[in-house]
């Protein structure tokens, strides 16, 4: 057991000192909290896998504090790729976009990259965290700060719940704004540019920011998908509370609820659906009434209802398949054991 200190945002230098000493420090970003270790300390990076229970073939992304830092770690970039990276970082960094690029050898240990010839890099949009990384003097790894398979953390309490006594510190912050992990964009594939994981930055937004670019989706929104995953992390079941989750579209919600009425069910639904349902005495968590609000609270909703006493089932509204709902649907479908749509 180590003592887990909650570090005030203004004390980011304390976080940096712990990281430099090889300790693990969780940190806030605009997406979800990450579990940080300095990326050139193999033992610390190994400890990240170990405390998360993360499979070792699932590489970590690294977080930098300045856009141009990506050029310190990426290699063999054509002038066109360099220009593209500049356009992307100008438009979206700091922000929820991870870029997969060919990595210079021997800068990050094998543990970081899982032995791949590429690395994922991003600059998170969070002032205290950027200052902490700058003070550390080297990028930090940052998988989401949850036990492997559990919903990602959007509040300091979530991180504390999963890692109290197992990590040295957590940099404090109000809840994260976006609520789901960054968009992962693969720039290392000769076949084209691929979104490997949907996030707040959509293909349309990227295509608008970089005229002439074509962005392909390489994501499985279906839990039944047999596609080979390009992002190693996407093959694992994810985001699941202990209580089973059903994803149900608004259209079928009332019917499914009726057929399951003998069970004690928690509901995660939009305001508009709530108005049309009879949910007397049911544990309910509101998604608000926009794609953004739903996405930002999804993980907190799953964690909150997982802790509610005696629930046998969590029914979550599956929002329609629009581009803005892609990240929400992707995470919810991965968390669900049944889908009604
Ligand atoms: O928003 C985020 O990205 C958060 C915050 C903390 O920054 N971090 C995060 O990290 O979500 P993680 O490790 O939970 O997810 C990174 C994803 C995984 O699906 C992983 O498989 C994929 O990126 N990935 C990492 N390196 C890769 C690589 N070289 N090639 C393809 N996919 C990669
Ligand atoms: Mg994760």
Q: Is 123 in the pocket of ligand 1 (CB under 6 A)?
A: no
pLDDT at 121 over 90: yes
Cis peptide before 112 (omega within 30 of 0): no
Which strands, in side-by-side order, build the sheet including 25-27? 5-7, 169-171, 25-27, 34-38, 140-141, 61-63, 118-122, 97-102, 183-186, 193-197, 215-217
**32: closest CA among 156, 184, 148?**
156
Q: Is 29 in the pocket of ligand 1 (CB under 6 A)?
A: yes
Per-residue pLDDT reduced to its tens digit, 75-96 = 989 999 999 999 999 999 999 9
Query: CB-based contacts of 101: which residues, under 8 Å, 6+ apart?
Result: 70, 73, 74, 77, 85, 118, 119, 121, 187, 188
Per-residue model confidence (pLDDT) at position 1: 82
Q: Which ligand is nearest to the CA of 35?
A: 1
pLDDT-wise least confident of 197-206, 233-242, 329-338: 233-242
Task: Using the mean position of ligand 2's atoms as its centre, give its distance from the Cα of residue 261 in Å.
Answer: 33
Based on C-alpha coordinates, what's the Rg of the chain? 20
Burial of 224 (0-12, 13-18, 19+ CB in 10 A): exposed
Q: Is 143 in the pocket of ligand 1 (CB under 6 A)?
A: yes
pLDDT at 241 over 60: yes
Residues within 5 Å of ion ligand 2 by Cβ? 144
Structure confidence at residue 234 as a pLDDT band (50, 70, 90): low
**How far is it, in rounded angstroms, from Cα 109 to Cα 56?**
13
Q: Is 144 in the pocket of ligand 1 (CB under 6 A)?
A: yes
Q: CB neighbours (10 Å) of residue 331?
A: 25
Nearest residue (CA) to ligand 1, atom 13: 143
pLDDT at 262 over 90: no
Per-residue pLDDT reduced to its tens digit, 22-76 = 999 999 999 999 999 999 999 999 999 999 999 888 899 999 999 999 999 999 8
Nearest residue (CA) to ligand 1, atom 12: 143
Per-residue pLDDT reduced to its tens digit, 4-20 = 999 999 999 999 999 99
Per-residue model confidence (pLDDT) at position 223: 39
Per-residue model confidence (pLDDT) at position 142: 96
Instruction: Write out the two tokens for 320.
Output: 């329609």
Per-residue model confidence (pLDDT) at position 235: 52
Distances in Å between the alpha carbon of 80 and those of 83, 98, 301, 327? 5, 19, 43, 29
Q: Which ligand is nearest to the CA of 327?
A: 1
Query: Is the Cα dihedral 271, 198, 216, 96 positive or negative?
Result: positive
pLDDT-wise least confident of 37-51, 129-143, 237-251, 305-319: 237-251
Helix (H) or strand (E) holding 98: strand 97-102
Residue 118 CA: which ligand 1 atom is closest?
29
Q: Is 59 in the pocket of ligand 1 (CB under 6 A)?
A: yes
Q: Is 154 in the pocket of ligand 1 (CB under 6 A)?
A: no
Q: Which ligand is nearest to the CA of 114?
A: 1
Helix (H) or strand (E) holding 122: strand 118-122
pLDDT at 237 over 90: no
> What b-and-e string marks burial along 46-77, b requiring 16 or more CB atoms within 10 Å of the CB?
ebbbebbebeeebbbbbbbbebebbeebbeeb
Q: Which of 114, 184, 195, 228 to mutate to test the pocket of ligand 1 (most atoms within 8 A of CB)?
A: 184
Q: Is 319 in the pocket of ligand 1 (CB under 6 A)?
A: no
Q: Are 132 and 19 in contact (CB under 8 A)?
A: yes
């Amino acid at each position: 057991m180590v003592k887990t200190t909650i570090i005030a945002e203004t004390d980011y230098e304390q976080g940096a000192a712990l990281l430099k000493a090889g300790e693990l420090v969780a940190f806030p970003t605009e997406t979800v909290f990450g579990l940080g270790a300095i990326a050139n300390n193999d033992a610390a990076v190994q400890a990240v896998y170990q405390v998360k229970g993360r499979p070792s073939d699932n590489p970590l992304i690294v977080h930098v504090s300045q856009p141009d830092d990506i050029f310190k770690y990426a290699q063999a970039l054509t002038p066109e790729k360099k220009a593209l990276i500049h356009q992307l970082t100008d438009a979206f960094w700091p922000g929820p976009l991870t870029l997969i690029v060919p990595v210079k050898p021997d800068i990050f240990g094998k543990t970081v990259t899982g032995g791949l010839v590429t690395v994922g890099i991003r600059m998170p949009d969070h002032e205290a965290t950027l200052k902490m990384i700058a003070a550390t003097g080297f990028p930090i790894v940052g998988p989401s700060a949850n036990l492997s398979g559990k919903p990602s953390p959007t509040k300091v309490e979530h991180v504390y719940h999963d890692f109290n006594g197992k990590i040295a510190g957590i940099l404090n912050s109000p809840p994260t704004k976006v609520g789901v992990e960054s968009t992962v964009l693969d720039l290392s594939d000769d076949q084209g540019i691929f979104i490997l994981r949907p996030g707040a930055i959509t293909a349309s937004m990227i295509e608008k920011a970089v005229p002439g670019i074509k962005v392909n989706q390489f994501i499985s929104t279906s839990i039944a998908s047999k596609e080979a995953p390009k992002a190693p992390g996407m093959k694992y079941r994810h985001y699941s509370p202990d209580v089973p989750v059903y994803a149900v579209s608004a259209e079928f919600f009332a019917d499914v609820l009726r057929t399951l009425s003998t069970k004690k069910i928690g509901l995660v639904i939009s305001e508009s659906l709530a108005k049309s349902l009879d949910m007397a005495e049911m544990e309910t968590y509101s998604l608000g009434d926009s794609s953004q609000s739903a996405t930002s609270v999804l993980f907190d909703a799953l964690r909150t209802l997982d802790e509610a006493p005696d629930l046998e089932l969590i029914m979550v509204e599956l929002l329609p398949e629009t581009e803005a709902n892609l990240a929400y649907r992707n995470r919810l479908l991965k968390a669900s054991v049944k889908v009604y749509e």
